[in-house]
Structure 1
């Protein structure tokens, strides 16, 4: 297998979201036939999730290189069993998905300290192999960054997501009066008086056809897979990407966003979702707000207003729908409260389900004898 040393990457500006390079486990050590000695196993190559690491730092630190573990030690008269080769450990960011060059899944690194074996060392030579060692595993692997955040902002370009992120958090994203200001993911933290922190990700804006990888397409959609909840952000006045594209009302924008997520990966619609209707400081916003609320109460009653290709198979029932203005601050504090409340409700539900599953597994593991003893004691 030929392992190239060239590092391939895609990036938005200086933001690198994937790397592709070669890893190789160490070869095993030679055995010693006349004394039956066994060679040491070659070292393994591991990815370990660490704080403060980025793919760009990895690329800068290891330019044009591959990662190889050390070979195992040969068997000798002084040490019949050769020493094990030293492992190669590579620090990577939290929120990494690892696949091989053919796209086959290897594993995820979701929290600090998680480890993945990406290339195993070869066994040392021994009796069964005529004391000849084996080479270590060599493969090309791919690291894909999928942001992990509590909440991911979902909206079309110029819906005001960046301004909203700046209003609710300590982030300072680039903001301008034109679409596609956000060309790389932005992360912010909502800070509460009791020191509770909630992470929010503002991701590059979707466009129609994102599920087919138009615009930033999959670059956007893959990041949203690793957020706990979704916060839809729409402009109360509607949205038009360009003069040649159709104008979409706020209701149409919501359904089109839903359709894009559904076509990319239907499971995304199972995430808890909130809706922030932005730019309520604009003229006639109150009238449009009342109309939107009516439409969202029974969305299917208004599907006849949409082109057939825009109609989603499923509708999203938002946990909270709030009118806000990132400019005046209207509704921002209530939005922060609802985000926290929604996340806590999700955590409570997951905790309850975990304990139910644990109790069920304990009951399943009980032997008939233990059940008889338990019934006897309860008497």
Structure 2
């Protein structure tokens, strides 16, 4: 059993979620001045998404982290136009954001075989360049992994997220009775009878101050960005990280989790959310659950009891609140149904909004096309007068 924070973070370091790479496009080939021959363009460097790839595999396979494309062929008598240099492809996992050295986003890989050009090859020598080739583009890039999942589990350490994931899906995460069970993201699939699959991500436990990168900080929060909805998991009895940190009730836990998300990114906090109140098998759990429900339904009656820095700008409104026990299985089926219902409802709303927008664009297009002949007639008639 490991309690030491430094050991935990070293273990978490085995999971790679960002890489810095050197890339360079190939140089162009030499031109042929006497016959006006044109050298081949240098090869390009691409980042290409592969489902079974991880950043750790990429790092292990290419420890130098240098990717250089091939040079363009020189122009010659037998081939006045030189052939293009060989492209270089960097295999990367789905869910990657590619940025340059200044943090500017170059592109994202959201599905298998998505590709992003990161370093262009130089032009071959030709008349405009005095038949001298140009060098390829040099670029430092960063690959930043943000997991793509339908649902992201949000909770402080020891809330029971790992146990819950193993209960609702086919994932087999490590489960132990010390605070930081989850040291790297775990993915599981909820399988429904009609073969619908929902991907759930259990992410490393937040701690207070995560928004300023305390603890696992941004390593956790950036993965929340791509999930469609959040599933808060709280211990009905409350939470205490260690004897040196304050005890937090279940209601305080919800407030603090909401505040951490809000301080990191308001858009993340605005995602649809459900609340699973875990460990309902414990003594006095029913009374504590009723107390929590009262606080969630009437938050303004209790917020004056807390420090202002703990209180989010807007309290979280949960679409469903489900009491569960990841140990006994109580409420698990209802939770799975609520997750499915919530995702389906939001998908329907998004489809409706999309179709309304398309219909509106069509109306505007038709209005413009019908009005054009009328305006021409008006001009013609005025000339006749």
Q: Is TM-score (shorter-chain normalized) higher than 0.5?
A: yes
1:117 has 2:103 as partner: no
Aligned counterpart, 1:92: 92
- Unpaired runs of 5+ residues, structure 1, are 1-9, 374-379
Tell me the distance in 2 between the aligned counterparts of 1:158 and 1:277: 13
Judge conservation of contact 1:37–1:126 (CA < 8 Å) in 2: yes
Aligned counterpart, 1:360: 360
Aligned counterpart, 2:51: 51
Tell me the distance in 1 between the aligned counterparts of 2:33 and 2:370: 54
- 3-state SS of 1:34 partner: coil
Tell me the distance in 2 between the aligned counterparts of 1:46 and 1:356: 37
1:196 has 2:196 as partner: yes
1:229-288 CA-partner distances (Å, limit 9, x unpaired): 100000000111111211111001000000000001111012110000000111111111
Tell me the distance in 2 between the aligned counterparts of 1:291 and 1:268: 27
Alpha-carbon shift at residue 300 of structure 1 (Å): 2.5
Aligned counterpart, 2:3: none
Tell me the distance in 2 between the aligned counterparts of 1:305 and 1:158: 25
Alpha-carbon shift at residue 113 of structure 1 (Å): 1.7
Aligned counterpart, 2:225: 225
Tell me the distance in 2 between the aligned counterparts of 1:363 and 1:130: 54
Larger Cα-atom Rg? 2
Counting only pairs closer than 5 Å after superposition, residues 1-379 of structure 1 correspond to structure 2 as 12-366=12-366, 368-370=368-370
- 3-state SS of 1:33 partner: coil
1:331-369 CA-partner distances (Å, limit 9, x unpaired): 000000000111111111111122222223333334644
Judge conservation of contact 2:11–2:183 (CA < 8 Å) in 1: no
Alpha-carbon shift at residue 370 of structure 1 (Å): 4.2
Tell me the distance in 1 between the aligned counterparts of 2:134 and 2:372: 54
Judge conservation of contact 1:155–1:161 (CA < 8 Å) in 2: yes
Tell me the distance in 1 between the aligned counterparts of 2:68 and 2:146: 26
How does the TM-score come out when normalised to structure 2? 0.91
Tell me the distance in 2 between the aligned counterparts of 1:353 and 1:132: 54
- 3-state SS of 2:346 partner: helix
Tell me the distance in 2 between the aligned counterparts of 1:23 and 1:36: 31
CA shift in 2, pair 1:212/1:368, >3 Å: closer
- Unpaired runs of 5+ residues, structure 2, are 1-9, 374-385
Tell me the distance in 1 between the aligned counterparts of 2:213 and 2:56: 24
- 3-state SS of 2:151 partner: strand
Instruction: Quote the RMSD (CA, aligned, Å).
Output: 1.6
Judge conservation of contact 2:21–2:66 (CA < 8 Å) in 1: yes
Alpha-carbon shift at residue 168 of structure 1 (Å): 0.6
Alpha-carbon shift at residue 289 of structure 1 (Å): 0.9
1:115-147 CA-partner distances (Å, limit 9, x unpaired): 110100111112111111110011111111111
CA shift in 2, pair 1:297/1:371, >3 Å: farther
Alpha-carbon shift at residue 308 of structure 1 (Å): 1.1
Judge conservation of contact 1:164–1:326 (CA < 8 Å) in 2: yes
Equivalenced residue count is: 364
Judge conservation of contact 2:39–2:125 (CA < 8 Å) in 1: yes
CA shift in 2, pair 1:114/1:284, >3 Å: same
Tell me the distance in 2 between the aligned counterparts of 1:42 and 1:362: 44
Shift >6 Å, 4+ stretches: none
- 3-state SS of 1:16 partner: coil
Greater mean alpha carbon deviation, residues 138-147 or residues 326-335: 138-147
1:203-225 CA-partner distances (Å, limit 9, x unpaired): 11011000010000010001111
- 3-state SS of 1:35 partner: coil
How does the TM-score come out when normalised to structure 1? 0.93
Tell me the distance in 2 between the aligned counterparts of 1:129 and 1:141: 29
